[in-house]
Structure 1
Amino acid sequence: MSQKLKTVAEEKLFSRNFTKYGLDLNPAVSIGAGLIIILFALFAFVDLDRANTVFGIINTVIVSNFDWLFVLSSNFFILVSLIMAFSKLGSVKIGGVDAQPEFSNFSWYSMLMSAGMGIGLMFWSVGEPLYHLMQKPPIFNSNMGDTQAMATTFFHWGLHPWGIYALISLSLAFFAYNKKLPLSLRSVFYPLLKDKIFGFWGDMIDILAVVSCLFGLATSLGLGVQQINSGLNYLFGIHVSVMTQVLLIVGITGLATISVVTGLDKGVKILSELNIKLAGLFLAVIFVLGPTGYLVKLFSNSLGLYMNNFINASFFVSTDGSTWQASWSVFYLAWWISWSPFVGMFIARISKGRTVREFVLAVLIVPSLLSFIWLTVFGGTAMHINGLTSGALFETVGNNLPVAIFEMIQNLNVPLLEGAIKTGLSLAGTVLVISFFVTSSDSGSLVVDNITSGGKLNSPVTQRVFWASMEGLVAIVLLLIGGETALKALQTAVIATGLPFAIILIIMSFLLLRSVQKAYKRQKYIKDLDHFETMMEEYEDQAVEDQVTA
């Protein structure tokens, strides 16, 4: 059946591709996504204020009326993932019984973190705990403000985002490697839509995925170069300006293009491993130079508070008109869901050969724990410094979030070689931000490339260069149109896609459960048959031996 599906896909989907000039594109998906991107850019160019207002209203309506959907669906995704892991379905192997992992565990985890969270942790790890410390969020109530602030930050960066990623990436990987369908979002809906996934409805699903990926990546790239620019300003006095940020995007896009051209096994994997090693060293230095004892206690207390109140916090939906949940928890959930096609497809691409149990537990637990450690070291150090400076660090961060990590470094108490150490740490932080952006850009370009080619795993080099360049071009155009204001409008538009994606993911959950159950029965049958054949061979060998002996 799977081989038959593969043949159908090649005939009905790949035959529609445009294959001239070094390209291999599905024209409907590529042109449709391109038109949406152009229309958005024109809207922002003609009347940026109106664009901001329109998307702001859409976002407010979605968040205020469907906050319950984001909250409850994210819990449902975690539940489905755990059912998959701890039931008999967990023994099903992605790619079939004989499939083997393509990457070592270290490479796999490195690529998971780099694509899923890396740059976000760099941007928010200092600022967010400070915000929660000062604002007193309504979840994780504790008489210790720093512990409450850190547990709230854990909530936003822990099991909930990774539960979303685990579900969509497992769905994509299963239908691509077990059912032999193209690695594309449309393939997940084959049990529901059948051959219609190869036509209009499949194109619509993939267009939404491409737009969400490109807009999300362009937003992150555009906002992230502001942090890089701030670091360079700290180090070398380079002026903070749109032109500087445009040049940074050109440089990052160029590095990402080189990585994409070299492929997943070389450029993306090597760069992701380098990221994690550099991040680990950076983390260790801050841990040693910072308030080490305080950080250990804060981690223990915050993790305990997070785990002890996880159920209450997970099902909390504000009913008093408070804007906190809309601004933080629901914003994050909508962002993670809208970001999930990109991260999910990349994780699916690198996860062949893992069992469902290994996959789910690894994706849920390992990145969450690593994120908690990172957030504690950087956020905890910032909160400690903020207390020593009577709130001065929070004021600085509140006025200019991109400089948060550099302000924290400048306020570290390092008696020996203070200037050299702080300069070195700021330089390392800037390099790490750039490196994480390059890995996000190259992995994102590979994902968009996969979708627009109809789900092909290997596409022409020219096409990889095209999508890597397009991602940087979108960010540059928006920066030139309206700087941070235009990027915020784009970010709001991305979050708005979280609502349809939440519904898509819910449907996807049921389709995945049913399909994996069938795969489990087939895998069990194959194992039982292999066991029977082995027993028969042993019996025949024993019979021959008995005859020889006689």
Structure 2
Amino acid sequence: METEQLKKKLHERNFKHYGFDMNVFVSLVSATLVLAFIGFTILMPEQSAEVFRSINTWINANFNWLFVLTINASFIFLLIVGLSKFGKIRLGGFKAKAEYSNFSWYAMLFSAGIGIGIFFYGVAEPIYHLNIPEGLNTGSSFDNFKIMYMHWGAHAWAVYGLVAIGLGYFSYNKGLPFSLRSLFYPLIKDKIFTIWGDIIDTVGVLSVLFGLATSLGLGAQQINSGLNYVFGVSVNSTVQVILICIITFIATLSVVSGISRGIKFLSQANTIISGVFLLAVLLLGPTVYIISTFFSSFGLYLKDFFNIGLFVGIDAETISWQGSWTVFYWAWWISWTPFVGTFIARISKGRTIREIAIGTVIIPTIIITFVMTILGAAGVYANGMYDGVITKAIDTNIATSIFEMIQYLVSSPALKTLLSCVAIVAIVLFFVTSSDSGSLVVDNLTSGGKKDSPKVQRVFWAVMEGLIALSVLLLGGATALKTLQTAVLITGLPFAVLLIIIIFSLSKELKISYKKHEYNSMIRLRKRMNRLDDDAEYK
């Protein structure tokens, strides 16, 4: 009862006028910091770029080990709780039922968590990884795919699963607010309802807004490049502004309609369209080569799993390589945990910890590695057959690499155009589904953890993301966008520490919850034997 009273007082502090229901501190501070940061990058693009480049260099040199530790600790923890007795614990309580079908759940999970990464990097990354540090190089021709699997597989998804389980447990099982502050209840107890909780949620909002706005701006440039390659559409700011407006408009409609309608529908459509495109590439491309590459590469990935996962650069050359790739990826995934982890928790009520652990680590790893092998192996094949054509495309504009691959693997002009159009639609949908689910998460955080806030507020945050991307793109250009992207990576450092803390706090809480689960199992068994009344329940 005391927790409910504190939660009620927290929500009573919200600004409730003109269709809004916002936590004043989180909303105002987040908006102020975002505007100040954008002003800095727009007015002083070169200086801001240098500042954040220096910070990144310092982080790579001194804390690369911390990112590696956090990623591996998250994976090991998720594996243990998922496969152990704790995996039986159900988010929402013993009797809770899953709100969405498995297909809808996986579709929303993938659409929010992947973004356009598989299309943007799938073709190019295996070629980038032809030269890797000696400690990662076994001399195999599949080393490049092994490294790509590490960056997109189990290690990466573990941080999402950790936050999803933690937030879902503390919110659904403990009755705490549906916001990041609740993850730290075992550490600071009722202080999560005070200014300390507001600060935690503010950091989460900043991370989500920067990440989504930056991706939206860069994504507009990538889609513009695709349209230029396929249809000859000019690459300029006007086209990119139109693209951002279209994506923001669709995302706004989706987030207003809610998870059960707009977000679920677009995620399912995205999954189907992307699946059709990838199947076409598999069948039209070097099918046997792709499948053989996958099995050989996946075997090498499993064999070297801990060797590559625990690799930490020591000398200047390996530190530089790891900072550009592995640490870059780990920081990027970690900085997105407030967004994706929260969204996965939002759609996972009624599911067991084991389902979430498997659903966010094992299954995504198998699917993503195969999907990226389809694109990557097809790209490597085309690159070898046509005198380094993909390498040239990457050097010129990485966004066109997937279209170059289609150009050289498909003979029919009509089919080339069709597949290229499908790829563009899939990329757009990935952006829309990331934007709408991100807006929903920001809405949760700025309302003090409310799962159902006013539609006006959802529109506000969806439009805000688009406006941030537009302002930076128009006024600061590519330099400002890259600076924003760099800043997002910096937020990964404090979250890396917080994730370690979450592991310890969640371990303690799950031991208590398991005792309740076992007691309820006994009660259920006795009810079936008619030894207890139906109202018997664990207290």
Which TM class, normalised by the smaller chain length? over 0.9
Counterpart position of 1:450:
444
Amino acid aligned to 1:470: M
- SS class of match (2:137): coil
Say whether residues 1:149 and 2:147 are aligned partners.
no
* Greater mean alpha carbon deviation, residues 40-49 or residues 485-494: 40-49
For residues 201-255 of structure 1, the C-alpha deviation after alignment (integer angstroms, 9 at most, x for no partner) is: 1111111000000000011111111111011112221100122111100110000
Mapping of 1:115-514 within 5 angstroms?
A: 115-133=112-130, 135-138=131-134, 140-145=136-141, 147-322=142-317, 323-414=320-411, 418-514=412-508
TM-score, normalised with respect to structure 1: 0.94
Counterpart position of 2:111:
114
CA distance in 2, matches of 1:333, 1:451: 23
Say whether residues 1:35 and 2:32 are aligned partners.
yes
CA distance in 1, matches of 2:310, 2:340: 25
CA distance in 1, matches of 2:164, 2:83: 18
Kindly name which structure, 1 or 2, has the bigger radius of gyration based on alpha carbons: 1
| C-alpha contact (below 8 Å) 1:172/1:188 kept by paired residues | yes
CA distance in 2, matches of 1:82, 1:402: 35
- Relative to structure 1, the CA distance from residue 532 to residue 28 in structure 2 (aligned partners, 3 Å threshold; closer, same or farther) is same
CA distance in 1, matches of 2:222, 2:479: 16
1:137 deviation in Å? 4.4
CA distance in 1, matches of 2:35, 2:283: 49
Amino acid aligned to 1:454: G
Counterpart position of 1:522:
516
Counterpart position of 1:546:
none
CA distance in 2, matches of 1:489, 1:394: 26
For residues 464-509 of structure 1, the C-alpha deviation after alignment (integer angstroms, 9 at most, x for no partner) is: 0000000011111110122221111001111001110001111011
Number of aligned residues: 531
| C-alpha contact (below 8 Å) 2:439/2:461 kept by paired residues | yes
Unaligned runs of 5+ in 2: 534-539
| C-alpha contact (below 8 Å) 2:167/2:178 kept by paired residues | yes
* Greater mean alpha carbon deviation, residues 39-48 or residues 452-461: 39-48
Say whether residues 1:53 and 2:50 are aligned partners.
yes
Counterpart position of 1:547:
none
1:140 deviation in Å? 4.4
Amino acid aligned to 1:72: L
CA distance in 1, matches of 2:349, 2:527: 27
CA distance in 1, matches of 2:6, 2:380: 57
Percentage of pairs with the same residue: 49
CA distance in 2, matches of 1:137, 1:271: 41
Displacement over 4 Å in runs of 4+: none
Amino acid aligned to 1:389: Y
| C-alpha contact (below 8 Å) 2:334/2:496 kept by paired residues | yes
| C-alpha contact (below 8 Å) 1:212/1:497 kept by paired residues | yes
Unaligned runs of 5+ in 1: 540-550
1:377 deviation in Å? 0.4
* Greater mean alpha carbon deviation, residues 523-532 or residues 420-429: 523-532
TM-score, normalised with respect to structure 2: 0.96
For residues 265-324 of structure 1, the C-alpha deviation after alignment (integer angstroms, 9 at most, x for no partner) is: 000001101111111100010001111110011000100000000011111111121211
1:139 deviation in Å? 5.2
| C-alpha contact (below 8 Å) 1:101/1:353 kept by paired residues | yes
1:354 deviation in Å? 0.8
1:40 deviation in Å? 0.6
Amino acid aligned to 2:476: G
For residues 81-114 of structure 1, the C-alpha deviation after alignment (integer angstroms, 9 at most, x for no partner) is: 1111122111111110000000000000001110
Amino acid aligned to 2:452: N
CA distance in 1, matches of 2:240, 2:259: 27
CA distance in 1, matches of 2:424, 2:204: 31
Amino acid aligned to 2:307: N
| C-alpha contact (below 8 Å) 1:140/1:305 kept by paired residues | no
* Greater mean alpha carbon deviation, residues 218-227 or residues 419-428: 218-227
- SS class of match (2:279): helix
Amino acid aligned to 1:255: I
1:520 deviation in Å? 0.7
Mapping of 1:535-550 within 5 angstroms?
A: 535=529, 537=531
Cα RMSD between the aligned structures?
1.4
Amino acid aligned to 1:453: S
1:533 deviation in Å? 4.6
- SS class of match (1:103): coil
- SS class of match (2:58): helix
1:138 deviation in Å? 3.8
Counterpart position of 1:63:
60
| C-alpha contact (below 8 Å) 1:93/1:353 kept by paired residues | yes
| C-alpha contact (below 8 Å) 1:110/1:272 kept by paired residues | yes
CA distance in 1, matches of 2:213, 2:498: 23
For residues 438-462 of structure 1, the C-alpha deviation after alignment (integer angstroms, 9 at most, x for no partner) is: 1011000000001001111101110
Amino acid aligned to 2:471: V
For residues 165-214 of structure 1, the C-alpha deviation after alignment (integer angstroms, 9 at most, x for no partner) is: 11011111111100111110001111211111111111111110000000
CA distance in 2, matches of 1:231, 1:47: 30
CA distance in 2, matches of 1:527, 1:6: 27
1:538 deviation in Å? 8.7
- Indicate which of 7, 10, 13 corresponds to 1:9: 7
